[in-house]
């Protein structure tokens, strides 16, 4: 059993605190992704788990054992670095076997396990090459191979795919997922790419400025973002976020946008009249009539000229004006749309997100 738990973990560099008391429970064999914008403390947190950074305050436990004072080698973890950190003076075979050699395994055992890992990752053709003679994708594989060879309790990944081109990144993402299904281990994976987070994670931890903003399954954070930050961070294209003031129309609470449009609020939000709120809706929830996921009922119809149309094949992203801002909508199974064309859009009210403007917190129950 190798669950990882962080209890009020703090990191300070000198007087500056960069991680502010993080609590996190990673279950045995769970794939947890830390995601957040650059500089939010993802790497720092991961490196504290690895033992590469001192823990300023709080506790980190791996498999129920407090590891605060243990050096990296005693934590039975593996880490894949963004730079891959392959040993330049060792062949692929030596790179893979290095950890086992340090652990004084027998040559036959090393060979067996290295060959096994090479087989899983398709590294056989390059075993005697030096890292400098490998492509980026091959280096990435070697780095992963080096991590799995030692059969660790916990895998740590720090942006392992960010040095690959988009296509290769997609392929490796799938491979990592396959690898996790095959080699069941606890994984903590750091990325700033929300697509990677959504596709790989059992649970996502969204961080900002050294705080955890939300922890949840991909559908949790996508469908029920806890605050404006998470709402804007997860999803691509991002959620549309419009300032509004709560008013009452026909006895029902509405959010009055800056341009005077009233958006009926869902019944389960607790608001008071005059409250400043942020209304959020995903591009999927804003589409021309007949090209949307949602039906006509419980939706708000409006006619808008299209500012820009971005055809992507199976869908077209449409830009229109609402609430004094440019918003993005998604047209499914699209026909050709020209900029300047006027369309009737419908806004899915069932999937509306409502946040308090002052605190940023979600107001949906």
77 makes contact with other proteins (CB under 8 A): yes
Q: Which of 4, 24, 35, 40 binds ligand ATP (CB under 6 A)?
A: 40
- C-beta of 114 vs 226, nearer to other proteins: 114
44 makes contact with Mg ion (CB under 5 A): no
- C-beta of 52 vs 300, nearer to ligand ATP: 52
Taking phi first (over 0 means left), then psi (-120 to 50 degrees means alpha), and beta for anything else, what does residue 209 get?
left
- Please, what is the end-to-end C-alpha distance for the chain in angstroms? 36
CA 143, distance to chain mean position in Å, is 22
d(CA 214, CA 222): 11
- C-beta of 158 vs 356, nearer to other proteins: 158
299 makes contact with Mg ion (CB under 5 A): no
Stretch binding other proteins (CB under 8 A), from 87-95, 166-174, 272-280, 298-306:
87-95
Using CA atoms, how far residue 138 sits from 8, 82, 228, in Å, is 38, 14, 39
* Residue 211 CB-half CA count within 13 A: 5
Among 218, 160, 141, 178, residue whose Cα is nearest residue 42? 160
CB of 89 to other proteins, least distance (A): 5
125 binds, among other proteins, ligand ATP, Mg ion, none (CB under 5 to 8 A by kind): none
Query: How big is the site for Mg ion, counted in residues (CB under 5 A)?
Result: 1
Let me know: does 32 contact 188? Beta carbons within 8 Å.
yes
Query: Which string of x and - marks every residue 43-62 that binds other proteins (by CB under 8 A)?
Result: -------xxx----------
Q: Which of 9, 19, 24, 43 binds Mg ion (CB under 5 A)?
A: 43
What angle is formed at CA 76 by the lines to CA 74 and CA 82, rounded to 5 degrees?
A: 110
108 makes contact with ligand ATP (CB under 6 A): no
Residues in the chain: 365
Let me know: does 67 contact 5? Beta carbons within 8 Å.
no
Q: Which of 11, 150, 282, 330 binds other proteins (CB under 8 A)?
A: 150
234 makes contact with ligand ATP (CB under 6 A): no
What angle is formed at CA 323 by the lines to CA 317 and CA 325, rounded to 5 degrees?
A: 55
d(CA 46, CA 54): 11
11 makes contact with other proteins (CB under 8 A): no
Let me know: does 34 contact 42? Beta carbons within 8 Å.
yes
Site for other proteins in 93-112 (CB under 8 A): 98-99, 102-103
Q: Which residues bind other proteins (CB under 8 A)?
A: 50-52, 71-73, 77-79, 81, 83, 85, 87-89, 98-99, 102-103, 146, 150
Q: Which residues bind ligand ATP (CB under 6 A)?
A: 13, 18, 36, 38-44, 192
């Amino acid at each position: 059993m190798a669950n990882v738990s962080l209890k009020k973990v703090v990191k300070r560099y000198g007087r500056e605190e960069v991680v502010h008391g993080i609590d996190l429970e990673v279950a045995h064999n769970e794939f947890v992704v830390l995601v957040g914008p650059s500089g939010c403390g993802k790497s720092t947190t991961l490196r504290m788990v690895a033992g590469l950074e001192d823990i300023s305050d709080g506790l980190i436990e791996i498999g129920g054992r407090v590891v605060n004072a243990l050096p990296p080698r005693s934590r039975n973890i593996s880490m894949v670095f963004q730079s891959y950190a392959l040993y330049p003076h060792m062949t692929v075979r030596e790179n893979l076997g290095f950890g086992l050699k340090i652990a004084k395994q027998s040559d036959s055992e090393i060979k067996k396990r290295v060959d096994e890992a090479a087989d899983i990752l398709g590294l056989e053709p390059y075993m005697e090459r030096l890292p400098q003679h490998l492509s980026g994708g091959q280096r990435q594989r070697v780095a992963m191979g080096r991590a799995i060879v030692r059969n660790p309790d916990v895998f740590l990944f720090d942006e392992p795919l960010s040095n690959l081109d988009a296509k290769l990144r997609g392929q490796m993402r799938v491979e990592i997922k396959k690898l996790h299904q095959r080699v069941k281990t606890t994984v903590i994976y750091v990325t700033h790419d929300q697509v990677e987070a959504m596709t790989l994670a059992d649970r996502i931890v969204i961080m900002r400025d050294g705080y955890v903003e939300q922890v949840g399954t991909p559908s949790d954070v996508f469908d029920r973002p806890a605050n404006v930050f998470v709402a804007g961070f997860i999803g691509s294209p991002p959620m549309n976020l419009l300032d509004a003031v709560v008013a009452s129309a026909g006895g029902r609470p509405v959010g009055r946008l800056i341009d005077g449009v009233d958006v009926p609020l869902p019944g389960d939000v607790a608001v008071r009249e005059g409250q400043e709120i942020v209304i959020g809706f995903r591009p999927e929830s804003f589409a021309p009539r007949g090209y949307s996921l949602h039906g006509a009922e419980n939706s708000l119809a409006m006619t808008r000229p299209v500012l820009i149309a971005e055809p992507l094949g199976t869908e077209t992203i449409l830009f229109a004006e609402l609430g004094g801002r440019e918003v993005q909508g998604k047209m499914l199974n699209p026909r050709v749309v020209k900029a300047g064309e006027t369309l009737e859009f419908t806004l899915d009210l069932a999937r509306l997100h409502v946040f308090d403007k002052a605190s940023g917190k979600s107001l949906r129950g």
